[in-house]
Chains A and B, each alone.
Chain A
Amino acid sequence: MIKILKYSFYDLMRSRWSYIYFLFYLALGFILLFLNQDVSKAVITLLNIIIVLTPLIGTLFGVMYFYNSKEFTELLLAQPIKRSNIFVGQYLGISLSLSLSLVVGLGIPFLAYGLFQSAEIFNFFSLLLIGAMLSFIFVALAFNLALYFDDKIKGFGLAIITWLFFAVIYDGLFLITMLMFDDYPLDKFALGATIFNPIDLSRILIILKLDISALLGYTGAVFQDFFGTSFGLFFSLVLLSLWIILPLLLIVVKSKRKDF
């Protein structure tokens, strides 16, 4: 598995798209710091970008890589390698290379700006950690879709819809429900509904870390109550990890039965 990981990673690190992704974050970091002149403001702006962009790029890279390397996968399948190792290896290769682009791309400008002198260092690293976790989650979801649908167009379409659902539609449904049932106490429901969307979960986590939860109003208090404690933090990290582990298990199960 390590070998497959190594080669997928190596393959991606040389692809033009990885550079573009890396350069994008590099430019973004410098521009934000230049415009804001302040690390903590830059971190908040980054939050909004990372929370939407890493899932989108993860989804797109995930399906694209899977479909593009189909023949290579066939070559690997004919070698004495366990099936699940091929797919898990490729999965880790993509996720790691995307996370690396994110971490290094944003790390360089923030380090250059003097991150270590700033009080925001911990928040910045949580943001990078969340971004990396979101990459892992959405690459895993994309891999599942690509494994289930041999038709590229279908796989691509559904991957985009998955991203759209978690990034936009879910929030819409959430808001509609809140409006329709606003006579009832909904804070527990809001908490529950957030947990099932990795993007929302990440957003709330970071907002609470940044101590701007007043923006969230009354529900924010409930959230603060829950996520603000070390148990809440631990719980949400466990949930995000589950969002990685469960799709990964599905990849293993599905890949065992698939024909190529």
Chain B
Amino acid sequence: MIEINNLVKRFGKLTVLDGINLSFLNGGIHTVLGPNGSGKTTLIKSILGIVVPNKGTIKINGKEVIGKWQYRDDISYMPQIAHFPQNLKVKELFKMIKDLRNTSINENELISLFQLESHLDKKLSNLSGGTSQKVNIVITFMFDAPLIILDEPTTGLDPVALISLKKIIKQKKDEGKTILISTHIMSLVEEISDEIVFLLDGKIYFQGTTDELKKQTEQDNLENAIANVLRESDD
């Protein structure tokens, strides 16, 4: 379980997270939604300790995590855009990450799922954007971490890879993992989320299921419901 209490993050004068109170239960797929600049990535990065919050606490399974690092053993994170050391080959990168995390999970299944076999001996600097993203996915899912955090995972993926990605996400959910996703793709949200959190101007605007959001906004599809929320917030 992730408990976030009164989380504040400012970048200079800009307040990106403005006193967030939030909790995610273990298990299931939780989606973080919100317009550009609403603080989704900052929230995710705060949980990971990549961004250091100004105020507030974050607890994972009852343990305070700000300033710690050991807890990241239990997290798999997929960043929005992946850039890797340019001089390494793909298979060397996999080896390195495994070495850094001291685990030896077999990644071959994932490699064949995303058809990366032919790219293993290529240097990372020679990969296309979509292929790097596939490498990124393999790195994320090659560990058996109980918490999986995905920041805009669909960027640059072709439809085949997207289907494979959804398949893995569902499979991980069935294994009882907690999955946190930030995304803009509404169809993905509707298809897989158990719970959504809507961030707006650094505050939680809504937390609940998609059906509850539709009911609250009196809309019958999610896209309209979101648009409705945004219009209301402008008034």
Interface size for A (C-beta < 8 A) is: 26
A259 proximity list for chain B (CB < 8 A): 11, 45, 50-52
On whether A75 and B84 interact (CB within 8 A), knowing A81-B100, A259-B50, A259-B51, the answer reads yes
In contact, A260 and B45 (Cβ under 8 angstroms): yes
Shortest beta-carbon distance, B235 to chain A, in Å? 33
Whether a CB of chain A sits under 8 angstroms from the CB of B27 is no
Q: Report which residue of B69, B81, B101 has the largest number of chain A beta carbons within 10 angstroms of its beta carbon.
A: B69
- Which partner residue on chain B sits nearest A8 by CB separation? B85
Shortest beta-carbon distance, A201 to chain B, in Å? 35
Residues from 3 to 21 in A contacting B, C-beta threshold 8 Å: 3-4, 7, 11, 14-15
Q: Which of B48, B85, B87, B100 contacts A3 (CB 8 A)?
A: B100
- Which partner residue on chain A sits nearest B51 by CB separation? A259
A-B contact count (CB 8 A): 65
Whether a CB of chain B sits under 8 angstroms from the CB of A82 is yes
A78 proximity list for chain B (CB < 8 A): 48, 50, 72, 75, 77, 79
On whether A72 and B85 interact (CB within 8 A), knowing A79-B97, A82-B69, the answer reads yes
In angstroms, Cα B88 to Cα A223, docked, is: 49
Residues from 50 to 94 in A contacting B, C-beta threshold 8 Å: 68-72, 74-83
Whether a CB of chain A sits under 8 angstroms from the CB of B185 is no
The A interface is mostly helix, strand or loop, or mixed, namely helix
Shortest beta-carbon distance, B77 to chain A, in Å? 4
Shortest beta-carbon distance, B200 to chain A, in Å? 22
Residues from 212 to 260 in A contacting B, C-beta threshold 8 Å: 256-260
- A15-29: contact bitstring with B at CB < 8 Å (1 yes, 0 no)? 100000000000000
In contact, B83 and A72 (Cβ under 8 angstroms): yes
- Which partner residue on chain B sits nearest A77 by CB separation? B50
- B44-75: contact bitstring with A at CB < 8 Å (1 yes, 0 no)? 01001111100000000000000101111101
- List chain A positions with a Cβ less than 8 A from chain B: 3-4, 7, 11, 14-15, 68-72, 74-83, 256-260
- List chain B positions with a Cβ less than 8 A from chain A: 11, 45, 48-52, 67, 69-73, 75, 77, 79, 81-88, 96-97, 99-101, 139
